[in-house]
Amino acid sequence: MFLVALLLIACAPALAELRAGAAKADITPDLGKYPGTYVAGFGQNRVATGIHDRLYAACLALSTGKRPLVMCGVDSIGLFLEDVEKARRQVGQADLVVAATHNHNTPDTMGLWGRFYFFSGISEAYNQMVVDRIAEAARRALSSMEPAVLTLAKSQTGELEGLIHDNRPPVVRDPELVVLAARSLAGRTIGALVNWANHPETLGSKNTLITADYTGYLTRRLEGQLGGTAVFINGAVGGLQSTLGVKVKDPATGRTAPDNSFEKTELIGRRVADHAMEALRQAKPSDVDDIVFQERKISIPVSNFAFRIAAFVNIHKGRKPRNPDGTTTTPVGVIRMKAKGACVLEIALVPGEIYPELSQGGVERYPGADFPDAPIEPAIKQMMTAPYRMLFGLADDEIGYIIPKAEWDNSSPWLKNAAKRWYGEINSVGPEAAPRITRTLQDLFGQAPR
């Protein structure tokens, strides 16, 4: 027994050794192989006419001697839980988190943007290719893991906030950029993960070229400057947090870049990458020795009539089935990274486009709201205690907009005397999504009210 105890003590540092690996796989559609590829976002029947730049599934794998964790950012409008579970089954003995960037210039993987309403835009062959490539990138990231050191950094500047336009009251943004970089013991960058909240839709509704939008420029710049594989994961983009309504000046010329242009798209991506690199330059390594992943499946009532019709006509092609009680099942999760028992990074995994006031705080009550007396949901990032806090939007599922119940407005008069119905409710499962998701996160973060 004494010898066994000595052996366990001797092995303990090795078991807690942090290891990291990263890889990415190309998920750009072959327009010859997938003719009639519908571009997701904005409206129906937007058919891709060419490829401007490549799309990727990029993954960062981490392990402290227990079950590894793989975090993947995917250049996609959104992936339903059913496709994520397919990738998870291929990866095997690791926890896999898959978050779509919600890019509006990528193929329709959800079925909502086909030739016309209720005509599915999904190509099963393309969706399966995306699933296979996610699994491939995750497996390669796992197989390449080596001893590593993590560095955490964050940046919140006026410029970053100015790159986000919020088109629904209250004007609340979640502009903090948080970066996690994994480096080998020799100092070589293995991978870097950037978490920031802004829709990749800079090219607008008339663009028909496949592109990763600003996130492609961002990740390419990081990889060119730092080396390794760059992963981008979006944050609280509901509401609608977008690049469309912002003006961006070229620092070299002082000229404002044209809207809906690749020039504007590149400027945004490069500036966000520069903020990430500057934050990393000023940061110190963290002695992460423990990683905890938790996930819980919850049910949310589907009150959106259009969503019910979509399920009835099978627009999602077997994905997002409704439960017998009229609910949909979706995952909610948390990740904790610890150093000597103290949390240094906490991550909320949210299965859709959550409004930033649910992340940051700032929910308001307006005349005309459908549930004016609804309790205010607690702010998710205020549930966390770690110095670094991330929120992964569209994590492992996409249920649409997640709106504070007190701000829910599905019948006139509209909030702030708007002339027409607000956009968010059109693409939300219903008013119970926010309360149920935040309650689950409270419980997972250990902040549930007594």
11 has a pLDDT exceeding 90: no
What's the mean pLDDT in 17-26? 98
111 versus 11: the higher-pLDDT residue is: 111
190 has a pLDDT exceeding 60: yes
Q: How much is the pLDDT for 368?
A: 87
Cβ-defined contacts of 87-94 (< 8 Å, 24+):
87/131, 87/132, 87/134, 87/135, 87/138, 90/131, 90/132, 90/135, 90/139, 91/135, 91/138, 91/139, 91/142, 93/67, 93/68, 94/61, 94/67, 94/68, 94/69, 94/70, 94/138, 94/142
Q: How much is the pLDDT for 448?
A: 53
Q: How much is the pLDDT for 449?
A: 43
Question: What is the residue-averaged pLDDT of the chain?
Answer: 94
Closest Cα to residue 141, out of 76, 214, 73, 89? 73
* Structural domain count, the chain: 1
What's the mean pLDDT in 377-397? 98
Decide if 278 is inside a domain: no
Decide if 4 is inside a domain: no
Decide if 102 is inside a domain: yes
CA pair distance 298, 115, nearest whole angstrom: 33
What's the mean pLDDT in 430-442? 98
Q: How much is the pLDDT for 193?
A: 98
Please, is 299 exposed, middle or buried when counting C-beta atoms within 10 Å of its C-beta (0-12, 13-18, 19+)? Answer: middle
417 versus 445: the higher-pLDDT residue is: 445
**Residues of the chain with pLDDT > 90: what percent?**
89
5 has a pLDDT exceeding 80: no
389 has a pLDDT exceeding 80: yes
Q: How much is the pLDDT for 176?
A: 98
CA angle 233, 210, 247 (to 5 degrees): 65
- Domain of 137? 19-147+182-247
238 has a pLDDT exceeding 80: yes
Decide if 353 is inside a domain: no
What's the mean pLDDT in 362-368? 93
Closest Cα to residue 226, out of 266, 187, 196? 187
Q: How much is the pLDDT for 48?
A: 97
Decide if 258 is inside a domain: no
Decide if 201 is inside a domain: yes
Q: How much is the pLDDT for 35?
A: 77
Decide if 398 is inside a domain: no
4 has a pLDDT exceeding 60: no
Asked if 177 and 195 count as a contact pair (C-beta separation under 8 A), the reply is yes
CA pair distance 179, 230, nearest whole angstrom: 10
374 versus 36: the higher-pLDDT residue is: 374
Largest CA distance in the chain: 77
Decide if 286 is inside a domain: no
What's the mean pLDDT in 304-330? 93
Three-state secondary structure of 142-185: HHCCEEEEEEEEEECCHHHHHCCEECCCCCCCCCCEEEEEEEEC
What's the mean pLDDT in 121-147? 98
22 has a pLDDT exceeding 70: yes
